Chains A and B, each alone.
Chain A
């Protein structure tokens, strides 16, 4: 019978099944970071338990780390949390890319970079954006700290088999439209909880044409549609991305693996519990105006009116969001003034993202009212960008060029958007206070954020680039 990739991977990982119980699922890769792991390690110590497979774990420090002046972390509690991860990894024998390590970076950026992320794997991490790794055709999902402890102890998790959903992106993307716009458009069209209870597979020609970096951007934000995991069947693009990476086999062994990976792709005629479609050619460059990722729209539009919503709870959510954002219903999105720009995060801080943003700002200056920072996703991305001279382009334009980490995406370190200020951000969440208490986030693609940095307000990247060609 024709099977989806989701069923194939799931079935391969069931350790034990019994009627009336969730499946006991084996976990191939457990990624760890400093914020959601300390209580799990403490639990192991309290119960005198060991880490079952330290060789299947990999840890780094990303959420809390400063992106400048790393030698002295002023925040004492943050420093303690970072040191705790170092000590825990030493005690339990877990490989760690610490702050001084050349592989350090956002956990979801370094997994693929190192080739730890591979098709067919089950991957977990105490972080909801673990869905990123699904871009390779893996079942990858975020877990809580109790589950982190469970995986450390047993290398398994009890999981009810999720339902499957196909999100088909048909047709071709238009000029100036990025992977970020596809996923923001999907979330806006189908809602912030459309994926609850499902693992999503993204299909369609528009998805097939995307690079691995772009696929990661899409899968990364599956959780913003409520899906714990989102994935894309592996193809030649996947195989070529992984070839030669540190943790993948070499020579003949790689070819055997590659053939196995390709065979995981969903079979022709496989049936999903639900299928939805979106036309790529209808998708515009997207920005959010509200306080969750579904509150967004194509950049040429105006902010919706409260009366556009029929449900009372939607109307009150809309009013509350606009009151928080300090925006008026019906106003054009391009009228929103921007004072902060953040190019970074596990959604959009890979080399291709930085290249795209750099191409937009090259030879221009950041608007005088804007403070703009670039935080590369990893030390590897940073080094590669510097080799290409991308850092110079950003610095010449007036951006700050930082060390790698999660940074202003969630503002756990000192990279904070001041209260009341609007930020054009390439990150994944625009919740109240996400980038700092009172901060107002507008999610968009790297090119859109870069253009906003130059103009000091939200702009339509298509017009911006056409004007450039015109000059």
Chain B
């Protein structure tokens, strides 16, 4: 996966809690056997009406955010289905960072495996960010900060192991192969 450390962009504000992965990527797009090409289906039924025309009220159709690489949403983002197609769609669309007060466990893990940085800030901090017009921020994973254009600095926590994986863009399977002796020993013990 692609390493990630610094990301600078206007934020895309999605003022909604409990955004489920069915909304992020709808089931009709899960039949493909590739990992790529899901971006055009991201939030499909919110982005487009039944005739396939863009819904002008939905934030992804707002010109001001078309080059944004940072999505900000409310609590429990990514709940529901385990479909990794959700982070694939988010990444393929162009987002590298998702900020929310909380994430569903499986979605959070899936982001980590795809070089997407999920950042947890407090509800108040997220509310504050969402309330600012066309807010530009700079994310720094090494420093664990989100710095606003107005100078406000938001700090976030992240598991040190996951941080290292993201910054280096490491392939986890290759790393696990280094523990082959431990796995073998475990299997022998169990047998």
Contact = CB atoms under 8 A, between A and B. Distances in A.
B31 A193 contact: no
Interface string B13-38: 00111101011001110111111000
Contacts of B161: 20-22, 158
A127 B27 CA distance: 13
A35 B113 contact: no
Contacts of B103: 196
A410 B27 contact: yes
Contacts of B104: 193, 196, 226
Interface in B63-111: 74-76, 79-84, 87, 102-106, 109-110
Interface string B160-187: 1100000000001100110100110011
A39 B173 contact: no
B150 interface: no
A263 B173 CA distance: 34
Contacts of A317: 16-18
A419 interface: yes
A142 B83 CA distance: 9
Most chain B C-beta atoms within 10 Å of own C-beta, residue among A127, A153, A154, A438: A154
A42 B84 contact: no
A39 B113 contact: no
Contacts of A63: 30
Contacts of A75: 31
A427 interface: no
Nearest to B165: A158
Contact of A412 (B16, B27, B33, B74): B27
A146 B114 contact: yes
B176 A84 contact: no
Contact of A411 (B27, B105, B172): B27
Contacts of B190: 26
Interface in A299-344: 313-314, 316-317, 320
A142 B81 CA distance: 9
A146 B84 contact: yes
Nearest to A80: B33
B107 to A, nearest CB: 8
Contacts of B160: 20
A387 interface: no
A84 B33 contact: yes
A147 B113 contact: yes
Contact of B176 (A77, A153, A224, A314): A153
Contacts of A175: none
B182 A150 contact: no
A433 B50 contact: no
Contact of B18 (A192, A197, A437): A192
Given A20-B161, A317-B16, A432-B45, A144 B82 contact: yes
B33 A42 contact: yes
A150 B173 contact: yes
Contact of A438 (B30, B50, B84, B110): B50
What range describes how many residues of A lie at the interface?
35 or more
A248 interface: no
A149 interface: yes
B179 A36 contact: no
Given A142-B106, A147-B109, A292-B20, A35 B30 contact: yes
Contacts of B182: 15-16, 24
B18 A39 contact: no
B159 interface: yes
A313 B17 contact: yes
A30 to B, nearest CB: 14
B75 A193 contact: yes
A226 B82 CA distance: 11
B159 A160 contact: yes
Contacts of A437: 26, 28, 45, 50
B47 to A, nearest CB: 13
Nearest to B75: A193
Interface string A359-381: 00000000000000000000000
B4 to A, nearest CB: 16
A4 interface: no
A434 interface: yes
A317 B15 CA distance: 10
Nearest to A419: B50
Nearest to B106: A142
A215 interface: no
B30 to A, nearest CB: 5
Most chain A C-beta atoms within 10 Å of own C-beta, residue among B82, B83, B102: B82
Contacts of B75: 193, 313
A207 B97 CA distance: 42
B76 A226 contact: yes
Interface in A103-146: 126-128, 141-146
Given A158-B176, A412-B30, A128 B110 contact: no
Contacts of B186: 15, 26
A432 B22 contact: yes
A238 interface: no
Given A26-B186, A63-B30, A431-B20, 7 more contacts: A144-B87, A156-B183, A196-B102, A224-B80, A320-B16, A411-B27, A433-B22
> Sorted from nearest, which 3 A-B pairs have the closest CB atoms?
A146-B113, A144-B84, A38-B33
13 contacts: A15-B183, A24-B176, A26-B187, A39-B33, A64-B31, A128-B106, A145-B35, A146-B110, A146-B172, A153-B177, A196-B104, A410-B27, A433-B26
